[in-house]
Amino acid sequence: MSENYYKEAWNYALNEIHNSYKDQGKEEDFILWFKMKYIDDTIDTINVSVPSLFLKTMMDNRGLLKLVQDKIREITDQHDIVINCIVNEENVSESEKNQKKENETKFQKSAKDDKKSIRDLESDKSESHSSDLEKDNFNISESKKEIKKHPLLQEEYTFDTFIPGENSTFAYNASVATAKNPGKQYNPILLYGGSGLGKTHLMQAIGNFIYSNGGEKLKICYVSAESFTNEFTTAIRESKVNSFKNKYRNLDVLLLDDIHFLQKKDATQEELFYTFNALHEKHAQMVFTCDRPIKEIQNMTERLITRLSNGLCIDLLPPNYETRVAILQKKVDLQGKTVSPEIIEYIAKNIETNVRELEAALMKIIGYADLIGTNISLEIAKGLLKDILNSNIIENISLDTIQKVIADNYQISVSDLKSKKRDKKFVIPRQIAIYIARELTEISYTELGDKFGGKDHSTIMTAYKKIQDSIKTDPSLDSKIQIYIREIKNFKNKNS
C-alpha cells in the first residue's frame, strides 16, 4: 500500500471542514487549531504531526482530531481508520518538557491526596455495591506505569486525569473496580447522563487501564453506536456480515458509546443483542454509555433493554462548584500554565452543567494567553468567553424558570402546572412546559415526572411526543413555543 494512501481523502476532509468554519464565520479558529501536517499512513492509521504539546492537548479537548477522523471515515467508508497525532519534538522546548514532567509529578501527588477524601459512595446505592467498590478502590497514581497507547483510545482519558466529585464518585469507583477485574465484577456496566459529564472519559479510562496492565494481547474495541451501525450496514451491503460477527463476538472488551443512537434501528439492535449474548457467555467485559436511563429510550427492543439493564447502571450528574474549580485547577497544573483564581472562579460559576464546556473555556483562555505571550485579566477573559457563556445560558436554565414562565403566560399557578387537573387550560401548558424542559435541559423523563407532581416517566414521554407531533402540523404552535423559549432565556438573564 502507498504510504500516502489516504492523503487525498485527508486533503478533501480538511477542505470540507475549512469551508464549514468559513460558513460559520470562524475561519480564524480553523487557522489557529488545525495545524496538522500529514506524514504517512498504514491500512488503518493516518499519522500526522503537530508543532507543540499544547496544541495536541487542545485538539484532543476540542474534539478536532475526531472531527477529521469522522469526516475521513465518511469519505472513504473505512470505519476502522484512526488518526495518530505525533508531536514534532523539534518544536517543543526543553523548558516545556521539564515543566510537563514536573506537573505530572505534582498532579500524581495531588491525585493521591484527593483519593483519600473520596471514600464514601452515593448514599442511595446498595451496601453490597459500596462494600465491593470500597474494597477494590485503590490509588491509581501509586500503581501508575508507563501508559501503553491503544490505537482506538485517547491516551489522555485515564483515571489519573478524571477528577471525581460528589456527582461522579460512584461511577469513578465502579469504573476502577471494573478495570481491575474485567468481566468478573460488574458486567455489563452502563454509564448514563447528560453530555460532557465524563461518560466517555471513564469508559476509555477502563480500556486504557486494562490495556496498560497486561491487556496488550486482549481484543479491546472502543466504538460509537453510530460507527457500529454504519459498519454493520456496510457489512450487509458488501455481504461481509460473518466478518462483522467474528470481529465483535470475539472481543475481550467492548466499549460501546452513545447507545441511544440505536433507537429505531431494529436490525442493528438485533445484532447487538446476539453480540451481547456471545460476549456475556465468554465473560468478556462490556461497557456502555447513554444520555438517559436505558428504559427511557424510545423504540428500543425490550429484550435488549433487559440485557443492558441487567448489570450496574450508574448516572453521572453535573459537578458542584467545588468540583468544577478542582477540575479547572488541575487542568491548569497539567498544562504547566498560570491562570488567576478569579478567572477560574468566573468560569466555574458560569458553566455549571458540562465539564467539556468547562474545559473548553479554560483552554481558550490558555490558548489566547500563549498567543499574546502574557497572562490576561479577568475583563479580557470575560470578553473572550462571551460566546461560550451565551451558548451556555440554555444549559443553565432551571426547570423552575420554565414552569414559572409558562404558568405566567397561561395565567395559571405553578402548582396548577404540577397538578393532575385534566382541564384543557391546564393540560396544554403542562405539556408545553414538559416539551420545553426536554429541549432546553438534560433532565430525564423520570426526573421531570417527579417535578411535575409525581407523574411516571411514560406520562411525561407521552406529553412530550404530543407537542412534538403537534408542531409538525401546526406552525403557529412552533412559533409560540419559540417565543416562550426567548422569554425563558431573558428571564434567566434578568435574574442571574
With bands split at pLDDT 50, 70 and 90, how would you rate the model's confidence at 271? very high
The 10s digit of each residue's pLDDT in 274-306 is 999 999 999 999 999 998 888 777 788 999 999
Q: Which three cell numbers stand for residue 476?
A: 403557529
With bands split at pLDDT 50, 70 and 90, how would you rate the model's confidence at 392? low
Report the CATH number of the 106-316 domain. 3.40.50.300
- Stretch 160-189: mean pLDDT, rounded? 88
Q: Which three cell numbers stand for residue 203?
A: 469508559
Q: Which three cell numbers stand for residue 73?
A: 471515515
Is the model more confident about 367 or about 97? Answer: 367
Helix spans in 24-162 (H)? 27-33, 53-61, 64-76, 94-116, 127-136
The model's pTM is: 0.55
Least confident residue range of 43-47, 70-74, 137-141, 293-297: 137-141
Whether 129 has a pLDDT exceeding 70, the answer reads no
Q: Calculate Rg over the CA atoms of the chain.
A: 24
Whether 103 has a pLDDT exceeding 80, the answer reads no
**Please, which contacts does 466-474 make with residues 24 or more away whose CB atoms are closer than 8 Å?**
466/431, 467/431, 467/432, 467/434, 467/435, 468/435
Closest CA to 285 of 192, 179, 212, 209: 179
Which H or E run contains 248?
helix 241-249
463-476 in b/e form (b: 16+ CB < 10 A) is bbebbeebbeeeee
75 vs 156: CA distance, rounded Å? 27
496 vs 475: CA distance, rounded Å? 32
Local structure of residue 148 (DSSP, 8 states): P
With bands split at pLDDT 50, 70 and 90, how would you rate the model's confidence at 477? confident
- Stretch 323-327: mean pLDDT, rounded? 87
With bands split at pLDDT 50, 70 and 90, how would you rate the model's confidence at 257? very high
Domain 399-494 coded CATH 3.40.228.10: no
Other Cβ atoms within 10 Å of 422 Cβ, number: 8
Q: Which pLDDT does position 124 carry in this prediction?
A: 42
Domain 321-391 coded CATH 1.10.8.60: yes
Q: 3.30.300.180, 3.30.70.1150, 3.90.1170.40, 3.40.50.300: which CATH number matches 7-91?
A: 3.30.300.180
The 10s digit of each residue's pLDDT in 117-126 is 333 433 444 4
Report domain extents, the chain.
7-91, 106-316, 321-391, 399-494
- Stretch 179-185: mean pLDDT, rounded? 89
CA distances in angstroms from 107 to 111, 215, 241, listed in the order given: 6, 25, 46
